[in-house]
Amino acid sequence: ILEEAAKYIRDLIKPGTFSQKTLKRFKSFLGSKDMLEYYDYLVQRLDAAIQELQLDCALDTNQKVTCINNTVNEVDSNVKKLLKLAMVTKGADIREENIYVDPSKVEDDDEMETRGKTKRIKKMMYNGCVAVAVYKAQNIDKTRAVRQATILKELSACENIERFQGLMEKNELYVVTEWAANYDLEKYLHRSDIEILWDQKLKFAEGIAAALTFCHEADIFHHDVKSNFDMARFSNDATTSLTGQMKSIRWTAPEKLKNPCVPYSKEMDVYSFAIVMWEIATRKEPFYEINSDIEVSEKVKNDKLRPSPIPNDIIPEYENIMKKSWVESFRSRPTMYQISSEFHGFCKRYKAQRNNSLFSLQRYDSNASLSRTLSGKKFDFKAQINDDEPVKPHTRPAWKDITTALTSKNYKVAIEGLEQYAQSDAKEADLAKYYAGKLLYEGHHGVPKDEFQALIYLRDAAIRLPASSYSKFTPMAQYLYADVCLKGELYDRENGIRYLEMAVDASEKNALYLYGTILWNGEHGLQINNTKAKEMFKLSKSRGNEKAGDMLKLITQN
C-alpha cells in the first residue's frame, strides 16, 4: 500500500508534470468523493494488515512459550533420570569395607551425654573433632545392617539428611551417625520453653521434603516418616514389622492400615509427610485427643479421620500442600518432587518478603499491637506482649461510626477505626480487614497507599470471611486479593489466579472482567481463549461493569 502511494507521488513530481491544467485536475481529484472512498479503503486495508500482524506476533509468541515449557519439562525429566543413574552408580561404588569406622578413632566425649528409650545413644568424638551418636544395632543381622548402611552412605550427599559415618564393630555392632544437638524433631517441637515461629516451621518442613525427594528419586522409601525419624529402606525391601507399624500408626497411610501386607509405596511416605506437616504446624502429637492407637487406626480407615484442628495462623500454601498430601486416594497425592518444588517456590517468596521487611510471616493476635511505618516500603510487624502486665482494653469507635465515615467517603477517619477492628477479635474484624485492605490498596482520599499491608488484610479477609456473618463480602475480598497478587510489586501468580477463579465462580463483576482480560491477552501463564473471554465480559457487563461493556464494543468494531 505504501509503495503504491510512493509511486503515485513520484509520478506527480516529475519535471513538467505540474502544469496549471494538471494542478486544477489534481485539486479536483483530491476533493472528489472517489478519492475519499479510496482513502477509506486504504485505511481499512492498513488496519487489517496491522491486525494480522498482531495476530501473527501473538501466535508466534504463544508457540514459543509452549515450546519453552515443553523443553523445561523435558529437561526436568532428564535431570530426575540422571539423579537416579548417579545414585545407582554411587551405590555400586560403595564397597563393604568403606562403611566401617575404625573403633580406635572413636573416643568418649567430655560431656558423656546419653539419651534414648528404646536404644541408648551415646555422644562420642570421631577423629578427635566430630561429635557423633553411637548406639547398638539391635534386632538386626549383619547382612541387613550392611545393606541399610549402604543406603545411608548413598544419602550422605544430601544436606537435609543426617550424615552417616559408618558401622563400628567392637565386640558388638554399633551405628555411628552425626550428633543431633537438638535431639529429634518430635522432642524439639514438644518443648514448651521454646517459641517456634513460622519461618522456622517452614524450614523444618522444607528440609524434610527435600530429604524425602532425594530418597524417592533414588528409589528409596523411608517406610517410617514421623517426627522422630528412623532409617530408610530400598523400594524392594520387605515391609516393616507389625511391632514397628504399631509404633507409627498415627502417621501411617490408610491403605497400609487397611491391608498391612500391601507393599510400601512412595505415596505412603507422602501421606506420612502430611501428618508431620500438621505436627510441625501445631506442635502436638497427631490425634492427641485419642489415647488408643487402635482407635486411631479404625477411625482413619473407616471414618477418613485426619488430625485436627487446623491452626488459625497457618499459611494458606502450607495448608494446601498438607491437605493435598493426605487425601484418601493415594493416586491423587502429589509426588515428593512436586511438593518440594511447591515448598521451594512459596518459601522463597516468604523469605524474600521477610528479609526485605515487607511483611512478617507471623499473623498478629488479638492481644498484639501492630507496629508499622507509613513513610515507605519498610514494615516491621511485632507482637509486643508482656505476660506480666494486664492487657489493656482497646478503645474502638462504634462500628456504625465507621460505616458512616465510609458512606460519606471520609476515608481518612474510617481507616483508623478499620485498622483497630482488623487487629481485634470483634465480630466485624474480618469485614474491617476487607475495607482496610481496599482503602490501603487504592490509596486515595487522604489514605496513604500501602500495598503490602493491604495484601495482608485482604489475604486474611479472603480466607476468613466465608465463615463469618459477613460472607457476602467474600467474592469482593477474593477479587481484591487476586488483583494485588497479580498487579502489585509482590507478584504471586499462584494465589492470584487461585483466588481470582474463586471470585469468578461467585460471579463477582470485577473478577469476571479481570479474568476475561487475562484470557483475551493470554497473561499470567494462561492460554489465549477469546471465546471464554467474551463470555466473561458479557457476564461482567450484565452485572453492571461498564468497562466490560466498552470492551465488548471494541471487540465488535474490530
State how far the Cα of 293 lies from the Cα of 273, in Å rounded to an integer.
Answer: 19
State how far the Cα of 99 lies from the Cα of 109, in Å rounded to an integer.
Answer: 23
Tens of pLDDT along 504-537? 999 999 999 999 999 998 888 888 999 999 999 9
State how far the Cα of 213 lies from the Cα of 515, in Å rounded to an integer.
Answer: 35
Number of other CB atoms surrounding residue 354 within 10 Å: 16
Residue 77 pLDDT level (bands cut at 50, 70, 90): low
Helix (H) or strand (E) holding 515: helix 509-521
Tens of pLDDT along 453-474? 888 889 888 887 877 778 888 8
In 218-315, which residue ranges form alpha helices assigned H by DSSP? 242-247, 254-258, 266-282, 293-303
Whether residue 368 is predicted with pLDDT greater than 50 in this model: the reply is no
Tens of pLDDT along 177-221? 766 655 567 777 888 778 888 888 998 898 888 888 877 776 665
Q: Which domains, ranges and CATH numbers included, belong to the chain? A: 97-178 (3.30.200.20), 193-355 (1.10.510.10), 399-557 (1.25.40.10)
Evaluated on CA atoms 132, 133, 134, 138, the torsion sign reads negative
18-38 average pLDDT score: 58
Cell of 371: 507496629
Tens of pLDDT along 211-238? 888 777 766 654 445 455 444 443 444 4
Residue 386 pLDDT level (bands cut at 50, 70, 90): very low
DSSP letter assigned to residue 363:
P
Closest C-alpha to 176, from 110, 125, 232: 125
Evaluated on CA atoms 527, 531, 534, 536, the torsion sign reads negative
Comparing 159 with 427, which gets the higher pLDDT?
427
Q: What letters, b where the CB count within 10 A reaches 16 and e where it falls short, cover 455-467?
A: bbbbbbbbbbbbe
State how far the Cα of 299 lies from the Cα of 330, in Å rounded to an integer.
Answer: 18
339-343 average pLDDT score: 86
Closest C-alpha to 342, from 361, 315, 374, 363: 315
Residue 346 pLDDT level (bands cut at 50, 70, 90): confident
Which backbone phi and psi does 312 adopt, to 5 degrees?
-65, -30
Average pLDDT of the chain to the nearest whole number: 73
- Residue 316 has a pLDDT of 87
Which backbone phi and psi does 221 adopt, to 5 degrees?
-100, 150
Closest C-alpha to 153, from 122, 175, 134, 132: 175
Cell of 310: 487446623
- Residue 19 has a pLDDT of 54
DSSP letter assigned to residue 155:
G
Tens of pLDDT along 410-423? 888 889 889 888 87
Whether residue 83 is predicted with pLDDT greater than 60 in this model: the reply is no
Closest C-alpha to 123, from 163, 166, 134, 169: 134
- DSSP strands (E only) in 428-469: none
Closest C-alpha to 450, from 479, 423, 490, 422: 490
Residues in the chain: 558
Tens of pLDDT along 309-337? 999 889 888 999 999 999 999 999 999 88
Kind of pairing, strands 114-115 and 130-136? Answer: unpaired
